Structure 1
Amino acid sequence: MVAQAQEISPRMTGQKFQLVVHGGAGTIERSKMTPEKEQEYRAGLENALRAGREVLQGGGSSLDAVEAAVRVLEDDPHFNAGKGSYFTSAGTNEMDAAIMDGKTLAAGAVAQIEHVR
């Protein structure tokens, strides 16, 4: 499931931007998706877009906007990141994450972390 923010008028921010989020890897079968559950997923995606858009509209960097959007997804148990992480075969949650600044190519990552927040 993917959501895309509507283009913001240049009069509102002085520049155009696009922000796209997706709800993670895996398959959600339509036959098992109720209209209520679909609305919950879409609301989570829209909340993530809103968080990123607010950063950009406030003059923040694209890196800060991505981080804000991802934080919302990680805090939403519908998505397989953060609170919604899948369990390993050992019954634990292990999470990986990475982020990169496209301008400077500076990057950071973590792997197999547990017990976050």
Structure 2
Amino acid sequence: MIRYLRILCALALAAGAANMPAAAQAFPDGEAWSIAIHGGAGTIERENITPEKDAEIRAALSKALDAGFRILRDGGSSMDAITATIMILEDDPNFNAGKGAVFTWDKTNELDSSIMDGSDLSAGAAAGINGTKNPILLARAVKDNSPHVMLSGAGANQFSREQGLEQ
């Protein structure tokens, strides 16, 4: 029986890469999985993107998909695969996540992230954070290391530091 593992990175599409295909792979044992990503909320008109920028964005999306693919191919968990995939997007200024986040009205960044494990329905989320380099790591720490499902603002920032996450 083929088991399908679907992972969705709900990160906003910043550069019109909606036509970018998801990674899909079937393994010799008949298992199949897919990873679907997008890179940002908001609208950037395709005519405002140079061919060089488009190539840069597509290369970054491929890098993110490849990170998740390698983990799954090597027998890693879906949680590890999705975390690695999202971190690539958070570290790239082309995407509305982490480093590329849109500024608030007050010209600061307030980031949100969430993660859920479909196998046991455990979840973690962080909202309105402003110090954690990779918000997905904080969401995962909330899921794995706290009795909470969501932390926000100052409490989430404090928890992040207590967890030793890079600021």
Report the TM-score, using the length of structure 1 for normalisation.
0.91
- What is the aligned partner in structure 2 of residue 8 from structure 1? 25
Code of the residue aligned with 1:10 in structure 2: it is F
* Structure 1: gaps of 5 or more residues: none
- What is the aligned partner in structure 2 of residue 42 from structure 1? 58
1:93, CA displacement in angstroms?
0.5
* Structure 2: gaps of 5 or more residues: 1-16, 133-166
2:72–2:78 Cα contact (<8 Å) kept = yes
Code of the residue aligned with 2:35 in structure 1: it is L
Structure 1 segments, 4+ long, off by >4 Å, are: none
Paired with 2:25 and 2:115, the residues of 1 have a C-alpha distance of 25
Percent identity between the aligned chains? 50
- What is the aligned partner in structure 1 of residue 140 from structure 2? none
Q: CA RMSD in A?
A: 1.4
Give runs of aligned pairs for residues 101-112 of structure 1, distance below 5 A.
101-112=117-128
1:31, CA displacement in angstroms?
1.3
Q: What is the number of equivalent residue pairs in this alignment?
A: 115
- CA deviation profile, 1:37-60 (whole Å, cap 9, x unmatched): 101110110010000001100111
Matched, 1:98 2:83: no
Give runs of aligned pairs for residues 14-53 of structure 1, distance below 5 A.
15-53=31-69
Report the TM-score, using the length of structure 2 for normalisation.
0.65
